[in-house]
Every structure is written in structure tokens, then in C-alpha cells.
Structure 1
Amino acid sequence: MTKKTYRDKNCDLDVLNKQIESWFSDQGYEVQGNKTEGSWCLQAQKTEGWRKAVGASRAFTILIEGQSNEFSVEVGTGEWASNLVAGGVAAVLTGGVSLIGSGLATGWAKKIEGDIWKFIEEQIIFKAKMKSERELTLLKEQESRQDKLKQLQDAFDQGFIDEVAYQAKKQEIEHKAQDNLKNTELNEKLIKLKNALDSGILSSEEYQKKKAELISQSSHAELDNKLSQLRAALASGIVNQEEFDVKAAQIQKEIAFAEKLKQLENAKNAGVITLEEFEQKKAALLA
């Protein structure tokens, strides 16, 4: 195999492996892969015409090993593993891996090798960068949601839960994912706001005002979302009209309170009322 080593590239190796897999798939290759701790192995083989030209079961083999800031990539050809998912890297290496060219003595095969390396290095240099903490959080949330929805669908398909329970749990999973996304966005905004305070862009008073506005907006949006969820539950038969009316009245009351509290805070921040008056009026709202 032809091997290259890379250092200090801050490369997300999961992303790199997926990009290589997509490149082969787009070229019309059949692709299989396996991942172990610190190792990604991928095989790609062409159609019947390719097999006749290069030997019955030969396939391109890509092996990535290491960590984001120090890793190696190897490209060669080897036996197409009958079960790469089960056998992993060992299933490929025990079949023998050779340099491209020794078993593929054609100019166009060498061109493919060059195209592969060109693509890989473009990904390493420009695209397969480590994701931000927020991107990683969102990816994990998405994967968790998809996994839960799949398990829920399986339970429904096997008759473990009925249609009503399925729809209720599905809405619960999706709405929780939406809430998590909103919380992530709010936390990101609050961090940026704190950075603006620390760097002197905002005064302490401006910071507190903006912070209160962000939290208030988030709270109001959350209440609106709850009301939307309740309407959906009514439409799908999860709650009846009487239950809907009771819960909707409670949410509307919370929305009205949030709006009045926001107006009070605006009045306090604008100097219309004193802090003492604000606390008195706030206590009256809570009573």
C-alpha cells in the first residue's frame, strides 16, 4: 500500500472516512467499511467489467489509522473481504494488500490512484476539519433522536404499542429534540454575550439587560411551543377537548404572565420604575 502520514491537521477522521466513501459511491463503486478504535478501513470495488480487468475479487482498500492531529492514510488493492463488518481490518490485511500498479498494470488504474489521493488530501486540507462543540452536540442530538424514533417504530411495527401511544411518544421525542436545540442556541448566545461583557463591548448594565431579554424571549418561545404541542395532541386524539381547554388555559396564563413580566423589566431598565417598584409589581403578579 502507498502510505502517507499527516500531523497537526486537526482532521475529523470520521468525516474524512465518510467523504472517501461518498467519493467512491459517486464513482459507481460498491463500498463496504469497518471502524474500530483509532482505525477506519474501507473497500471499494467496481462492476463486473472492472473485475474482469483486474482480477476476480481485487478491490481498492483505504486504511486510516491514528487521531485527529496525527494519523496515516494508506491506499492499495486487496482481496474483497466477504464480511468486512465482522472481520474488520484483519479481514483485509490477511487477504494481502499491494501497491496499486502491481496488480493493476494499466495507466487508467494509476490515474484512479492519483484521483483518490488528490481527493483525500483536499478533504484533509480544506474540508474534514474538526467540528465545533455546538456542531458535535447537534449531531449527537440528531443521532439520539433518530435512534429513539427507530426503536419506537420497531415497537409499533411489532405490536408492542398502539397507534395512540406511538404518536404520543413520537411527538414527545421530537419536541424534546426541539427544546434541546433551543437550549443549545440560547447557551451559545449567552456565551457570546458574556464574551462581549468581558471584552468591554458591553457595560454590566447593558449585559444584564440583554441577558434578561434573551431569557425572556426563550421562555416565551417555549410556552408557544407547548401550546402548539397541545394542539397537536388534541388533533391526534391524545387529549380530549376538556383536557385541552384546562391545559391551554394554564399555558395562556403563563404566557400572559411572561409578557407582563417582560413589560415590567423594560420599564425598570428604561428608568420608568425603580427597582423597589419593580419588585413590588412582580410580587403582585406572582400572587
Structure 2
Amino acid sequence: MKNAVREYKDKHIDMEKLAGKIEEFFKNEKFKVQSVTHPKGTIIQAQKTGLLRTMIAADQSLTVTITGTPDDLTIRIGVAAWLKDLGIAAAEGLLVTPLLLFIEVPESLWVFEVEHNLWKYIEEQINLDL
């Protein structure tokens, strides 16, 4: 999975509220979560914890970027390196060139399942008129 992209036009989405709901989704699924808001958008990183996960892919996380405006919104979901200091400089890099910073990982049913469930959750939230 490099990254999946969906665009939402003319929906008037509360971007801050959507970002909070996405963080809530990950926390409910027992992920470690970090996020940063930047003038160009929001980045949310979620990492599954545990011994096996640590041994296999300690630096990988599901990464969501939310960019645009409430009426012209783009959401990207992919796997990227867990940034130890998800600050403004890191946010700038992920928001400006997200395709270059997402990493290739072996495809797994787990990644597909989480991505599928997250997209379903995002769609539900948008349809609830965030």
C-alpha cells in the first residue's frame, strides 16, 4: 500500500472535528496516536503497539493527511515512518510531498482491514455532516 486518496468537494467538512474523530478511531482500536496541525493541513500517525509489532516494523505507522478546505478536502491514508518528533518541519514535508514520504511495506490483510475500516468510518462521519 503506497497510499489511498479520496477527495471531497462541496461537503463543508469541519476539518478539525474530522481529525479528532480519526484520532478517536485509532485510540479505540488501541493504537498509539500522534498528530500535528499545520497551516496546510493535519497529519495523524497511528502505530499499533506490542511485542510482535515492535519486532516486525517498529518505525512504521498508518499516516493520515488531511489537506485543503472544508469544501475541497483531500484525505490520504498510507504507511509512513513513525516520526519521533512530529513537529512543524515534519508536517511541512508530509503535507507538501506526501507521495515521496510514504514507504512501501509488504501488503498484509491487517493493513487492508484497518484501512478499509478507517475509510468506512471517515465516510460515516462525513455523512453525519461534520
Give the TM-score band, short-chain normalised.
0.7 to 0.9
Choose between structure 1 and 2: higher strand proportion: 2
Offset at 1:86? 4.0
Relative to the length of structure 1, the TM-score reads 0.40
Gap change, CA 1:122 and 1:56, over 3 Å in 2: same
Q: Distance in 2 between matches of 1:83 and 1:91?
A: 13
Q: Distance in 1 between matches of 2:113 and 2:42?
A: 24
Pair member with larger Rg = 1
Deviation per CA, 1:198-243: give whole Å up to 9, x if none. xxxxxxxxxxxxxxxxxxxxxxxxxxxxxxxxxxxxxxxxxxxxxx
Instruction: Give yes or no for the alignment of 1:118 onto 2:123.
Output: no
- Give the 5 Å matches for 1:105-254: 105-128=107-130
Is residue 84–residue 91 contact of structure 1 (8 Å, CA) maintained in 2?
no
Relative to the length of structure 2, the TM-score reads 0.85
2:78 aligned to 53, 76, 99, which one?
Answer: 76
Deviation per CA, 1:35-68: give whole Å up to 9, x if none. 1114111101011332334x22000000000111
Q: Distance in 1 between matches of 2:124 and 2:60?
A: 26
SS of residue paired to 2:30 = coil
Q: Tell me, which stretches of 5 or more residues in structure 2 are unaligned?
A: none
In the TM superposition, structure 1's runs of 4+ consecutive aligned residues that sit over 4 Å from their partners are 91-95
Per the alignment, residue 40 of structure 1 pairs with 42
1:25 aligned to 24, 27, 33, which one?
Answer: 27
2:55 aligned to 49, 52, 55, which one?
Answer: 52
Give the CA RMSD over aligned residues.
2.0
Q: Distance in 1 between matches of 2:20 and 2:71?
A: 18
Higher RCO (CA-CA < 8 Å; seq separation 6+): 2
Q: Distance in 1 between matches of 2:29 and 2:129?
A: 20
Letter matched to residue 52 of structure 1: M
Choose between structure 1 and 2: higher helix proportion: 1
Q: Distance in 1 between matches of 2:126 and 2:6?
A: 12
Q: Distance in 2 between matches of 1:84 and 1:2?
A: 21
Q: How many equivalent residue pairs?
A: 124
